[in-house]
C-alpha cells in the first residue's frame, strides 16, 4: 500500500563517503564508512542511507555518482572529504516528501514513480537528490521484508 507524506526533517550531522559506479558497491561503502567511524571513535545515531546524485534512467550505472551516509551526534565537526572520499557535514532543516518501500531493493522503482507523481499532485517540486534510508539489517532480514524510506527534498511549487 502506497502512503506518502511531507515531513520537516531536523538539522543533522552525517558522516559520508562519496561513491562512483555500480550500486552493488553499497556494502563495501558502508563497511568502509563504519570502519572509519570506529577508527575515529564516532558513534552512529541513526539509520544508514544512500543519496543518489545521478538518475539511473539517464546515466549508466558505471558512471553514477552517489553517497553513503551515517547520522552522527549533532556536535560532530564538519570535515572535508579526505583522499578516500570520507567526510562529515551538517545538513540543514529541510522539507521532504517520503514513502516507505517494503521489499527487495531491486523492486523499489514503483515506489519512486508513485512518490514523484504524488509530489506533483500535492503541488510540490523536487529540489534535490533522492535519499534512501535503510531500516533493515540485510544479514538477518529476508529481502521481501526490507524497509526502505524513500525521500525527496521538496518545496511548494
Domain ranges for the chain, please list them: 4-156
Enumerate the β-bridge partners of residue 17.
68, 86
Cα 40 off chain centre by: 22
Query: Residue with C-alpha cell 543519496?
Result: 51
* Predicted TM-score of the model (pTM): 0.96
Tens of pLDDT, residue by residue, the chain (157 residues): 789 999 999 999 999 999 999 999 999 999 999 999 999 999 999 999 999 999 988 999 999 999 999 999 999 999 999 999 999 999 999 999 999 999 999 999 999 999 999 999 999 999 999 999 999 998 999 999 999 999 999 999 9
Distance, in Å, from the CA atom of 53 to the CA atom of 64, rounded to the nearest integer, reads 8
Pick the CATH number of 4-156 from 3.20.80.10, 3.30.1550.10, 3.40.50.9100, 3.40.710.10: 3.20.80.10
Amino acid at each position: 500500500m502506497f502512503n506518502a507524506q511531507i515531513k520537516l526533517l531536523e538539522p543533522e550531522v552525517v558522516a559520508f563517503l562519496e561513491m562512483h559506479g555500480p550500486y552493488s558497491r553499497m556494502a563495501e561503502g558502508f563497511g568502509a564508512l563504519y570502519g572509519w567511524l570506529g577508527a575515529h571513535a564516532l558513534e552512529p545515531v541513526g539509520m544508514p542511507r544512500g543519496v543518489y546524485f545521478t538518475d539511473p534512467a539517464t546515466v549508466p550505472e558505471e558512471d553514477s555518482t552517489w553517497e553513503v551516509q551515517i547520522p552522527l551526534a549533532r556536535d560532530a565537526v564538519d570535515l572535508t572529504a579526505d583522499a578516500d572520499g570520507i567526510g562529515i557535514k551538517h545538513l540543514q532543516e529541510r522539507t521532504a516528501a517520503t514513502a516507505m518501500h517494503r521489499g527487495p531493493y531491486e523492486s523499489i522503482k514503483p515506489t519512486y514513480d508513485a512518490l514523484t507523481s504524488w509530489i506533483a499532485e500535492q503541488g510540490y517540486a523536487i529540489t534535490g537528490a533522492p535519499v534512501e534510508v535503510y531500516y533493515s539489517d540485510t544479514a538477518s532480514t529476508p529481502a521481501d521484508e526490507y524497509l526502505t524510506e524513500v525521500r525527496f527534498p521538496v518545496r511548494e511549487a
